[in-house]
Amino acid sequence: MSENFDPQEMITRFAERAEAVRKRNLPAIGGEERRHFIRQAELDFMDYAMIGDATATLDDGILTLRIDLRPPAE
């Protein structure tokens, strides 16, 4: 892994990907293909958004992402 690797830059890229998925236009497809496309977009957004919200540490070449999945306090 490159010595110039910045975990925060990676997290920022994932947050940007989540936003891009959220803004993605729905192609002109219908039926089962449409449902599959929408479901995949939902999963992509969830995955990218979770990593985009992570806290990263890089210690001795080991990248650790901490993602708080607890519901927000009311």
Residue 1 lies inside a defined structural domain of this protein: no
Look up residue 70 and give its DSSP letter. Answer: S
How are the residues of the chain apportioned to helix, strand and coil, as percentages rounded to the nearest 5? Answer: 55, 15, 35
Instruction: Return the half-sphere exposure (C-beta side, CA atoms, 13 A cut-off) of residue 9.
Output: 3
pLDDT tens, N- to C-terminus, the chain (74 residues): 567 889 999 999 999 999 999 999 988 988 999 999 999 999 999 999 999 999 999 998 899 999 999 998 87
Which residues share a beta bridge with 55?
A: 66
Residue 73 lies inside a defined structural domain of this protein: no
Domain that holds residue 38: 7-66
For residues 3 and 54, what is the distance between their CA atoms, to the nearest angstrom? 21
Residue 71 lies inside a defined structural domain of this protein: no
Which residues share a beta bridge with 59?
A: 62
Based on the structure, what is the number of domains in the chain? 1
Residue 2 lies inside a defined structural domain of this protein: no
Q: What is the pTM of this model?
A: 0.80
pLDDT at 2: 61
